[in-house]
Amino acid sequence: AQSVAQPEDQVNVAEGNPLTVKCTYSVSGNPYLFWYVQYPNRGLQFLLKYITGDNLVKGSYGFEAEFNKSQTSFHLKKPSALVSDSALYFCAVRDGPGGYNKLIFGAGTRLAVHP
Amino acid sequence: GAVVSQHPSRVICKSGTSVKIECRSLDFQATTMFWYRQFPKQSLMLMATSNEGSKATYEQGVEKDKFLINHASLTLSTLTVTSAHPEDSSFYICSARGTVNYGYTFGSGTRLTVV
């Protein structure tokens, strides 16, 4: 079965410093991986996805993620964190190759960016 | 971009009553709709998947007679929580998937409080 793991419950970083939110995956076949961000009492906003192609994926709001097949990781990164980046971040993998398959989410990582 | 409108954003109801939550895809045809439930500080738990015109597929442990899902058109899906109880209080989020771009678009969520 497909799964993702986010090993950190919370990540703390100072504003202006680079940030990394970790995600590892376990899939059979080619992985379709996603990152979403959630602000309090809101739905999920799409940040980026990896389907195929370049291992470095650039997304919204200056975020990027690196797909690493050998380490089965898909870590989310940003060169310079903003206080407004503080939110809950979810890594997800699509379950199966078909067009209607569900997303399976990690437990989420809370990012706190301090001024 | 793709937009999913979810209403209401907040609802308070009395125990024993039913509540309907709507999700509309505003600028694309949602062939598949996913309904999630999220407890405080936790990840999203998939409740059910519905394809337009078909019966919903419920995840294990989700009562289909309690959480009624209707996906009668390509732009509207509803979740009805029947005979609500305080333990049904939660944050419910829908996600729509069309046939283009393999994207999943999320609604803004509904905070249900049963008193």
pLDDT in tens, B14-32: 999 999 999 999 988 888 9
pLDDT band at A5 (very low <50, low <70, confident <90, very high): very high
Q: Do A100 and B103 touch (CB under 8 A)?
A: no
CB-CB neighbors (< 8 A) of A89 in chain B:
none
pLDDT band at A65 (very low <50, low <70, confident <90, very high): very high
Q: Do B102 and A51 touch (CB under 8 A)?
A: yes
Min CA distance, A70 vs chain B (Å)? 25
A66 vs A42: which has the higher pLDDT: A66
pLDDT of res. A20: 98
Q: Do A44 and B42 touch (CB under 8 A)?
A: no
Question: Contact at 8 Å (CB) between A104 and A91?
Answer: no
Collapsing DSSP to helix, strand or coil, B98 comes out as: coil
Which of A37, A62, A61, A65 shows the shortest CA–CA distance to A51?
Answer: A65
Q: Do B43 and A41 touch (CB under 8 A)?
A: no
Query: How far lies B52's CA from each of A51, A100, B12, B55, in Å?
Result: 25, 11, 29, 8
Average pLDDT, chain B: 91
B5 CB within 8 Å of a chain A CB: no
B90 CB within 8 Å of a chain A CB: no
Which B residues, 64 through 83, put their C-beta within 8 Å of a C-beta on chain A? none
Q: Each residue of B60-88: pLDDT tens digit?
A: 999 999 999 998 888 999 999 999 999 99
Count of CB pairs separated by less than 8 Å, A with B: 56
Which of B40, B42, B30 shows the shortest CA–CA distance to B6?
Answer: B30
